[in-house]
Each structure stands twice: as structure tokens, then as C-alpha cells.
Structure 1
Amino acid sequence: MSAPLLRLETLTKRFGSGIAVDAVSLDLAASEFFCLLGPSGCGKSTLLRLVAGFEAPDSGAIRLGDEDLTALPAHRRPVNMMFQSYALFPHMSVGRNVAYGLKGLVTGRAATTERVAALLRLVRLDGYADRAPATLSGGQRQRVALARALAREPRVLLLDEPMAALDRSLREETQGELRALQRRLGTAFVVVTHDPAEAMTLADRVGVMDRGRLVQVGRPADLYRRPATRFVAGLLGDVNLIPGRLGADAPGPHRAVETAFGTWLGRAPEAPVAAGAAVVLAVRPEDLRPEDLRPEDLRPEDLRLGGEGAPATLIEETFLGDRIRRVLRLADGTLLRATAAPGEGAPAVGEAVAIRFAPDAATILPA
């Protein structure tokens, strides 16, 4: 990444004896759409408030370009924040709500009216200036709040759970609109969300937070395919976690893992792990392939490095519309999940299968 627009340097924030944000460092590029993802209470909203200036860090620094914002009050930062509740003034019209964001920036009624109209056009609310917020849908209120937040042309726009109040269909539609708007403006957006699908849909990069720490940052596809921890693997979608022991070094980017149903290869862990250590193989259900098997065709003692397959029984099949979910039971009782598109051939429930996955589809993670 080129010189960052926003830089957070080991930010730490405590509330009493608890640490809400624990030595977080992050670089944000100009025009980047970044998502902070994590469960409730992980510190992501507190981190956003530190950047906005609504909270002061106990240690660390916040820099925007060459400017140190750490001690700068919120109203003097070239940063703006849109709150989860939207915080619209109910006694003001839509136009006056947006104009409130222009206070001290634009003078004169004509100039203000023109700027408000331009902002409402930007968020596709032409003609709504005289409406009361109470008469608008949730998606429309969100767009009014967004127009007000953009009024001061911030260099970084912070959005705290912007889709939380919307129903599913409207949320999906609004995600596309928000992404398109950010691309048109070229403003850096930082969005806080607890929804992995939302983060992966919106973001250029995602930062996963767990108990105050930023545990992994990367592009959505990289986080999904190459999680650094069991927490990240589970947060970003369904995953099979197969326990085992790390074997000897293998050629190339893979390591061997000794499991209850044979020796398998997976992508080597990013952090050094000693041979013999307890690990898990993380395999996404769509990468697990149950194939037809006659029991006499595959014996556990015939398993070879890399995985000729492991015998299992297909015990459950569920139709989910766009995919079929299958549950498979290994000889030791371990249950695994596999998904495939409808119509893809598979044995019937109760039949024997061979479980296979490619080495690149498995990530070795510390247990």
C-alpha cells in the first residue's frame, strides 16, 4: 500500500479494569472501503469513536496524513461519523437535517439550499427536502443521515453498523448503493459491522477484532480462504475443524497432519508450529467432496499422504435452495459438513462415501 491516509499506532483504551481496545495498529489507504468486523463487545465501535474523537486513547496515536489527530477535538477533525441510530432531528425537515451538517461551512440561504439539493441528489432523495424524518422508511432515513455526514466532505467517513436497522432485502440493496456511492466519491469509508457477509460484500479489506485486538487484516477472499486463527475461520462462515497432530515438513507450501482418519496435507500455518503439536485442519464445506465408495474399495490402512480419501457415511441431506448441505459421519464418529450446488451427483443418505479435499483447501491452524 502507498503512504497511508489514516494511521493508527498501538491505540489502547481502557474502561476501568477492562481493555476495550488493545494496542491496535492499522493503516488505511485513501479511497479505501474498510470494514471492522467482530462480535458485540470486541471493541470495534470503541475504536471508531477513538478515530472520531469522541473517546481519548490511553496510549497510542492517530495520524491523518502528516497531521497528528490524537489530541484534536472531534469538531476539528476532517473525519465524520454516521451513527447506528442515524440521530436525525425529528423536529427538522430532511433538508434542515442535511443543512445542519453544513453549519459554519456554507453561508447564505441560496448556497445552503443548493448544497442540500446536491447532497440529496447524491443519495437519491431528490424532492425530499421538505419531508419529515418520521414519514421516511428506514432506508431513506439512513440516506438522509449519510447525506448529512458527507456534507462537510470528510476525508474519512466512519459508519457504525449502518445496516443494522434495515430488513434483509433492504440491507442487501443498500449495501450495493453504499459501495457505489463510496466509489463515486473516492472518500475513505470505515464501517463497523458484526455481519461477516456484509463485511465481505462491502470491503476492500476487512479487519477482524476479538477481545479488543485486531487479530487479522486482509482482503475478504484471503481471510475466508486463509484464516489465521480458529476464531477468524469460524466467524467468516461454516467450517469443518478436524483435530490432529502436525507431522514432519512436506515439500512446497504444505505440511502433513496426522488425524484419526489418516494423514492429510494442508497449507502450512503462518506462525511457526512444532512437529507433534496439536492443530486443526480448517476445511470449508464447499471444499469437502463426498464421492461414491464401495466399502471394499478403501481401507484406512491404504490412506496415503495427501489423502486418497477417508470412509464415511452420508447421514443427512438438506435442501437450502441454492445449495445442498450434507452431514457425513466418519468411522470414529466425527461429523463433517459438505455443501454443493443442487443437481450435483452424490450418494443417497445412508450410503458409504469417500471424503476428499485438496491440500490447498485446508488451512492448518493452532488448536
Structure 2
Amino acid sequence: MKVTRNKNFIYLVLACLVAAACTQKPEALPKFMVTNDLNMDRSFETVEIKLKDIKSEGETLDTSKNYTIIDAETKKEQVSQLSDTDGDGTPDVLLFQPEIKANSTKTYEVVLKEGQSHKDTIPSCYSRFVPERTDDYAWENNRVAFRTYGPVAQKMIEENVPGGTLSSGIDAWLKRVDYPIINRWYKKELETEGTYHEDTGEGLDNFHVGSSRGVGGIAVKVDTTYSFSKNFTKWKTLETGPIRTSFWLDYAPWQAGDKTISERKYISLDYGSNLSKFVIEVTGTDEVSVGLTSHEKDGEISTQVNQGWVSYWEPHGDSEIGTGIVAAEGTMTAYDNYITNKTDQSNLFVQLGVADGRVTYYAGFGWKKSGQFTTKESWNAYLKDFAQKINNPLKVSKL
């Protein structure tokens, strides 16, 4: 009987320990306050929470776990994405897009969710190299899509092989659905009798780029001449996801007068944005020109260089389209509506100063037929608000 009592006592102690462990609260993770200082409601703007701020100093964050964000008041989970912003192969920030009223703050919590995040086959923000269509690189989100061209397409032109493209301009793919279309359109073009040059309900590719700057390609002006690179030579996809896709493109050194220019583009596109972000690493010049193609030269130009934006609104097929460039206050110094009889060389340029070997700007478009922007005024209002927001970003502070 004595032995039985001892066994029962041990079982009771173990049961109490297990019960205590099960009722322990999970490890407390920090809260963050997001502040909107502008007199406008904010949404579809990506903020970053540094992963090093989630743990105490000296502790290691387990990035294999599913960290996510919830609204501290409603407890509603926010769409989020781990991102490697410094290119070392390890995530360093957690991205999400809060909705915050004008002149207000909201509090969010970081939580550890059971299991791994579900990953869609094709996320909302998506990009990839496209070897099956020569060697394009294409990217998209829920509102817009773009592409540009690689070295095989350039070689085909240089060797007089049909089907090549010689351009470092940025092409606009005019989608009017919120789901991914890149893979669908390439398959339609290459594997069926259909073509992405015709709109069957999702949009189409009828935006001519040629050797123009398209929507945000760069040039360097020497005297009165604009010079620019050929096709990209190397590429790397950095991330795709529900919030952001990003990648880089390298270009062979090129000449602008007696200047030798080197160029690498870091490009990203966030959910809900009509504008891609371009960070250009450049040497050989202290000023870069960013262009919007003028096509038939019948568009309407709007410029607010002091606010950091320019717009080109033009007839386009059976609809209209607005293109635009936005940059941080003080970085855009001038604009030039460059008109010439040379094919594809007429562009609306803005001049941006190079600082510490970099130029940063945003460029994109709004197609009237998509229903996103139906007038020049609505497109210009979007660019104006976008400029205000990048100059007054949402502030994140750890509580």
C-alpha cells in the first residue's frame, strides 16, 4: 500500500505540472503603433516591422515560425509577408498594409500562429523570368502588369532574326482583372490560337514601347542628346507574395557622350499600387532622366516638379491611359517634353539627381478601361496623393 500511495503521489504531481504548462500564456510578443500624420485616410501602403524589434536584444528570431500581425483592437489578422530587404538571404522585416484614418494611430500586435503560412501557387504580387517568350521579365499585382526585355531578344535584333526586341524601356500590360494574368497571357499567346494582343475580358498588350522609355525607363542627357542602355543582361527574383514582389536587373555598361554608365535596377511592386518602385544603382553620372513615352504626341502633360510628380494622359486604342512618375520631394529637378521625328524617341522626361550612387522613383499607369481612373483629373489626383504619402510615410513605433 505504501508503494501505491507513492506512485499515486508522483502521478498527481506530474498531472499538476502538465496542467500548469498547458495553462501558461504563450510568449508575449511586442505591440507596434502606426501613426498617420496626414489629413487623409491611408490604405494600400506597405509598412515594415523589423524582425530584430520582435525579440529582445541578443535573442535569435526563428524565421521558420509563422509570425503575423493582428489588429490590437479587433484581433483581426492582417495579411503579412516576411521580406529580405538587405539581400542576405534571410528575412529581416515583416510587411503589412494597415488601414488608418486621417490624423490617427492604430495599434497592432505581432503573434505567433500555429503552422506555416499558406502560400498560393501564384501570389497577388508576382514576377518571373519568361524564357518561353524569348527572355522577358514580367511583373504584376492586382491592378497593373509590366515587362521588359533580355539579352536573347537583343541578340535576335542584332542578328536580324525575326521576333527580337531591342529596348530597356518598360512595357505596360493593360489588365482589367484583379487576379494574376502573366502566366495565362503567355500561355494564350504561345500555346493556343489566341493572343494577348486582343482583349477577351482580362485586358491586353497594346502598349507600344519600341526603343522608347515606356513607363519609367531611364536615360542620361549629354548636351541635347538622350542616351540609354540596351536590354538587361542578368536578373534575379528576390520575392513574390501577397504584399510585394521584387527583383533586380543588370545592364551592360553603356555610353552617354564621353560618359560610361553602369546600371542596376531594383524593382518592386506592392499590392494595391499602380506604380512600381525603382531603385537604380548608377555610376558615371550625377543626374538621370526618367521617361514616359509620348506615343502619337497627342497626350496632355501635367507637371508638378516641386511636388515630385509628372503625368501624361493620352488617347489609347478605344480608351485612354495615364502614365506617371513620382519621386521624393527635392529629388526631381526639372522636366523636358522631348519631341523628335525619330521613331519612339519622343518622351516626357524628368531629371533626378543621383545621391550616394542611387536614384529612387516610382512609375506606372492607369488604364481608363480598367475602371480604376476614368479621367485625367482622377489620375493626377492619385499621383499627387502618392507623392504626399511617400514624403510623409506611415510611422511605426514599438510600444
Normalised-by-shorter TM-score class: under 0.3
Higher helix proportion: 1
Please identify which structure carries the higher strand content.
2
